[in-house]
A and B are shown apart, each in its own frame.
Chain A
Amino acid sequence: AQKVTQAQTEISVVEKEDVTLDCVYETRDTTYYLFWYKQPPSGELVFLIRRNSFDEQNEISGRYSWNFQKSTSSFNFTITASQVVDSAVYFCALSEGIMKTSYDKVIFGPGTSLSVIP
């Protein structure tokens, strides 16, 4: 069965510190997608990244970077020089992709609540 684990329930950092959010997933499929979403206090889920299981290259987008390691089934998310606006709940998610179905059936992890203190 598919499963996403985010062991860190809550993290607090001081502004400008770097922070890494951990994500470990389980799947029997060879083709799948991994995602990160941000949920600010307003409640709306904001898409951050989608990664294909065949693409293990790390990705950087501004202060955000993602480390995908298939060998350890991990897809960790690092925020560099954190800011107060980064305070939110972050969800890692997994989808079987469209090999089995014609749509993304997304399984979300429990989330990590990040607080950035000024």
Chain B
Amino acid sequence: GAGVSQSPRYKVAKRGQDVALRCDPISGHVSLFWYQQALGQGPEFLTYFQNEAQLDKSGLPSDRFFAERPEGSVSTLKIQRTQQEDSAVYLCASSLAGGGATDTQYFGPGTRLTVL
């Protein structure tokens, strides 16, 4: 497709369940970012991939959060043993290069995760 797509758009999980959120970046984009956006807040950086390499995971809130991008395109964010505080919108963004004077991050529509 032309833009970044994410699935599912909505996910309801019971506390303790594992979830997997998928991101399809724009074709050819080297860089992929995951953000967490709590209700009424701005997005917060979680992790960054350059191709298949995870170069920065400093924003992942705990070891229950794990992200991968094995072939340098599609990425999955996995949350194990979900907690209520994990409820948020998870945004994925991709960019051609990752940074620089003219580079732009294009965002997907997000996955709204609700943990009951």
| Residues on A facing B (Cβ under 8 Å) | 4, 37, 42-47, 50, 52, 91, 93, 95, 97-98, 101-111
Q: Are A103 and B98 in contact (CB under 8 A)?
A: yes
21 residue pairs from A and B, CB less than 8 Å apart: A43-B110, A43-B112, A44-B109, A44-B110, A45-B93, A45-B107, A46-B107, A47-B106, A47-B107, A91-B43, A97-B99, A98-B98, A101-B99, A104-B99, A105-B45, A106-B33, A106-B45, A108-B42, A108-B44, A109-B42, A110-B41
Q: Are A91 and B108 in contact (CB under 8 A)?
A: no
In chain B, what residue has the closest Cβ to A98? B99
Partner of B105, one of A4, A106, A109, A111: A106
- Interface segment among B18-26, B48-56, B64-72, B76-84: the answer is B48-56
Chain B residues in 8 Å Cβ range of A110:
40-42
Report the minimal beta-carbon distance from A107 to chain B, rounded to whole angstroms.
Answer: 7
B27 within 8 A of A: no
Partner of B108, one of A4, A44, A47, A111: A44
B88 within 8 A of A: no
Q: Are B42 and A47 in contact (CB under 8 A)?
A: no
Q: Are A103 and B107 in contact (CB under 8 A)?
A: no
Q: Are B55 and A103 in contact (CB under 8 A)?
A: yes
What's the Cα separation between A12 and B50 when bound, in Å?
40
New A-B contacts (19) at CB < 8 Å, excluding given A44-B110, A103-B99, A111-B41: A4-B42, A43-B109, A45-B93, A45-B107, A47-B107, A50-B102, A97-B99, A98-B98, A98-B99, A98-B100, A101-B99, A102-B55, A102-B98, A103-B31, A104-B98, A104-B99, A105-B45, A108-B44, A110-B41
Instruction: Tally A-B pairs: CB < 8 A.
Output: 67
What's the Cα separation between A44 and B109 when bound, in Å?
4
B17 within 8 A of A: no
Report the minimal beta-carbon distance from A104 to chain B, rounded to whole angstroms.
Answer: 4
Give the most central of A45, A93, A108: most B CB within 10 Å.
A45
What's the Cα separation between A105 and B99 when bound, in Å?
9
Chain A residues in 8 Å Cβ range of B103:
104
What's the Cα separation between A115 and B107 when bound, in Å?
23
A105-B42 contact in complex given A44-B109, A95-B99, A97-B99, C-beta closer than 8 Å: no
